[in-house]
């Protein structure tokens, strides 16, 4: 079991370009597993964790409803946003500047073969990170992601999640609003859930801006503890 994860911080990168890159890493792990099985080999499979920030984009999961996007193609162009239908779970999600997006591409055979546990640990990573800022976050029953003030009229989502898994290999992941422009969420029904607001860490803290590099460090610290993993940083150019 290989619990070392190659960490890559891609900076600001186009959604489709990143999605294609995710797919290539995902497929390389799946192919390695198939080869191991065919050759009865125990060669360790690799794990990756991509951190990225995307230009404005809306993505719709495979079970999503197109009507949850409230603007048309012309309006998307006016707002400088793009739109993609993707192969993850969940409904519609927005990504944009000021949001930390994480794509763990893991062979869960290296950790545990339980997708429910995987999602709960990703949520726990976010909850523990926000707690370091004095923000009390929690899960909302039946709704993947991380929320504030669940069960009250002020419930609001701060982190969306949607994953894909095949042969116990994961892709896609989480999107944590840190310094996000919340106006872009008005153009959709977030995750297809009506009547629920969205928030960002800087709003909750009453700050103009939160240090995103510091948030990343805290996220990775909690991830390694929860998954009993270790990161190695990719240093060569992508």
Residue 125 lies in a domain: yes
* Per-residue model confidence (pLDDT) at position 96: 96
Residue 145 lies in a domain: yes
Rounded mean pLDDT of 155-170? 94
Rounded mean pLDDT of 161-165? 92
Residue 207 lies in a domain: yes
Residue 215 lies in a domain: yes
Annotated ligand binding at 175? The verdict is yes
- Which distant-in-sequence residues (6+ apart) come within 8 Å of 184 by Cβ? 56, 79, 81, 94, 96
Nearest to residue 8, comparing CAs of 48, 45, 46, 47? 48
Residue 190 lies in a domain: yes
* Per-residue model confidence (pLDDT) at position 190: 64
Annotated ligand binding at 43? The verdict is no
pLDDT of residue 181 exceeding 90, the answer is: yes
Give dist(CA 69, CA 103) in Å, integer: 23
Give dist(CA 16, CA 20) in Å, integer: 6
pLDDT of residue 135 exceeding 70, the answer is: yes
Annotated ligand binding at 84? The verdict is no
**CATH for 199:** 3.30.930.10
Geometric angle at alpha carbon 172, from 166 and 177, rounded to 5°: 155
Which residue did the predictor score with more confidence, 183 or 170? Answer: 170
pLDDT of residue 196 exceeding 90, the answer is: no
Annotated ligand binding at 95? The verdict is yes
Residue 149 lies in a domain: yes
Annotated ligand binding at 90? The verdict is yes
Annotated ligand binding at 192? The verdict is no
Annotated ligand binding at 173? The verdict is yes
Annotated ligand binding at 88? The verdict is yes
Nearest to residue 120, comparing CAs of 101, 145, 102, 99? 145
Enter the tokens of residue 156.
């609001």
State which residues form the domain around 21: 4-233
Rounded mean pLDDT of 77-106? 90
Residue 44 lies in a domain: yes
* Per-residue model confidence (pLDDT) at position 189: 77
Geometric angle at alpha carbon 48, from 1 and 3, rounded to 5°: 25
Residue of 5, 191, 215, 220 with catalytic role: 191
* Per-residue model confidence (pLDDT) at position 60: 86
Domains identified in the chain, total number = 1
Active site residue 159: no
What string of DSSP letters covers the chain? ---EEEEEEEEE--HHHHHHHHHHHHHHHHHHHHHHHHHT--PPPP-EEEEEE-SSEEEE-TT--GGGB-S-HHHHHHTT-EEEE-SSSSSEEEE-TTEEEEEEE-BGGGT-S-HHHHHHHHHHHHHHHHHTTT---EEETTEEEEEESTTSTT-EEEEEEEEEEETTEEEEEEEEESS--GGGGGGB-GGG-TT-EE--HHHHHT-S---HHHHHHHHHHHHHHHHT-EEEE--S--
State the average pLDDT for the chain. Answer: 92
Residue 238 lies in a domain: no
Give dist(CA 153, CA 134) in Å, integer: 21
């Amino acid at each position: 079991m290989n619990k070392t994860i190659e960490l890559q911080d891609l900076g600001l990168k186009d959604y489709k370009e990143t999605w294609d890159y995710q797919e290539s890493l995902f497929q390389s792990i799946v192919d390695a597993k198939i080869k191991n099985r065919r050759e009865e080999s125990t060669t360790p499979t690799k794990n990756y964790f991509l951190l990225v920030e995307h230009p404005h984009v809306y993505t719709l999961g495979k079970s999503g409803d197109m009507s949850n996007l409230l603007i048309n193609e012309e309006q998307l162009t006016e707002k400088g946003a793009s739109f993609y239908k993707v192969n993850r779970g969940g409904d519609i999600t927005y990504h944009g500047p000021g949001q930390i997006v994480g794509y763990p591409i893991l062979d869960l055979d290296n950790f545990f073969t339980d997708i429910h546990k995987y999602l709960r640990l990703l949520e726990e990573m976010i909850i523990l990170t926000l707690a370091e800022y004095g923000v009390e976050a929690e899960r909302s029953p039946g709704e993947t992601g991380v929320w504030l003030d669940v069960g009250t009229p002020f419930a609001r989502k701060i982190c969306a999640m949607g994953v894909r898994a095949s042969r116990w290999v994961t892709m896609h992941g989480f999107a944590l609003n840190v310094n996000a422009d919340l106006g872009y969420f008005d153009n959709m029904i977030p995750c297809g859930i009506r009547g629920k607001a969205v928030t960002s860490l800087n709003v909750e803290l009453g700050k103009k801006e939160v240090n995103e590099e510091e948030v990343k460090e805290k996220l990775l610290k909690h991830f390694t503890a929860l998954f009993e993993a270790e990161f190695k940083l990719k240093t060569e150019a992508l």
